[in-house]
Structure 1
Amino acid sequence: MTGSAPPGRAYLIAHWQAGDSDPIPVQFNPTEMTLEKRVQFAEIAIPGLTAPLQQFVRGQAEVLTLELFFDTSDKGTGAVATSVTTETDKVYSLARIEPSGHAPPPVTFHWGKGFPGENLASELGGQRRESFTGTIVNIRQTFTFFSGGGVPLRAKLALTVNEYKTMREQLDELNLSSPDRTHGHLLSGSDQLWSVAQRYYSRPGEWRRIAEANGLADPRRLAAGTRLAVPSIDSGRRGR
């Protein structure tokens, strides 16, 4: 990538098989964009309860929708008019199949500081972002002004972009804890064994397993900065 977008201008990067494209600036920054994120839960019906339990199943792809405006009428509207497709086709290309990849390329939308998701809670680890990467699943071009000779001079492009992340990227971001693996935990001043057990096992009552694994004579007296071994549930059961 050798080019750069004008300061403050939103732009797209295409992730082609051969490498990333130069920034593709939008002609005018969008006046509105929408981000929609859904998560899927299953209802677990337990007889005798007043409501079913909610079991997290998976996240669904986040969806970015925005409308871009393009206009080349300032270059003339007569015989020498410049078609607005000289701008819009740069974006439309990103919804076409790349022969070497057998699919349209993923794209990343960038637009300044404070991008939605940049200030996520610290508890979410590596899930913060400064841009949005996805695949264009819908593009609608509306041409609204033409020269006398039929050259399109103004257009609106409505884009729908579905979140795109490889499995490796998602696992690295989530850094999920597993009760089936041994973990190390550095105690903070507010930690109690039950809270550590809740974090790694989702079972606060399993604090005794951690106390036994670390030879803690008095589990109520914990020193901040101490590194605890948090044994896996499976290995702990085998040892019982």
Structure 2
Amino acid sequence: MERVAFIVDATGERIDCLLNPETFEVKRLAGIRASAAGGDRLVGRGRADDPVRFTGGGRTELLLDMVFDVELVESAGAPSDVRQLTARLWNLAENSAQERGAVRPPLVRLVWGKSWNVPGVVSAIAERFDAFSATGAPGRSWMRLKLLRVDEPEDGAARSFDEELAHAAVAAPDAERPAAVQVVGGGQAVGGGEGDGGGSGVRIDLLAAEALGSPMRWRELAEANGVDDPLNVPAGSVLAVPSPGSPA
């Protein structure tokens, strides 16, 4: 399962999301307005519905619910404060770009695997924190982000899409991987399919890093094995590692 990334149009900066969105909602508002004369709204006397005016255009909004957790970051670069992971997404809602003498949020492109490639601007963002440390630093963030789609030439969309697919192929090559991994006590796991108990216990996301090359692919490992609750995998379970060409 591919991660979601935001590509800043002006600079080419890539902002990866820690996990795929928990939910993804798309809303379309058509170019329709209530008819009015002067400052007064026209009403349809004797009608079941008020008259409307078709203006063309419209608005498409994408609402993403995302989760960030410092525990899911590889230990070498794990921050103590989850805000270090989400700060760049907040910057996408700032008026940091200019157009015709006015300021506006930067144009970004939402890319998710081969299915989503949407240009837009971040119109709203909100964040809820929990898992606080003794010093008050939040360890987990529940973020809601609203993206407003904007127009772009068709050839530009196709070119950006091809570039992002090429980047993904280079950034995440399929390295040698084991055929299976075995879960040991307490929801931990170690590499190897023979149950020899070697190695140190790790979480399912670190198991995905060992088996699939990235801790962000823990959902892929869970889905391939029909695991509904990745935090409660029975001890002794042997999880098959999905092949590079699997549907997941």
In the superposition, the TM-score normalised over structure 1's length comes to: 0.50
Structure ranking higher in strand proportion: 2
TM-score, normalization: structure 2? 0.48
Tell me which structure has the larger Cα radius of gyration. Answer: 1
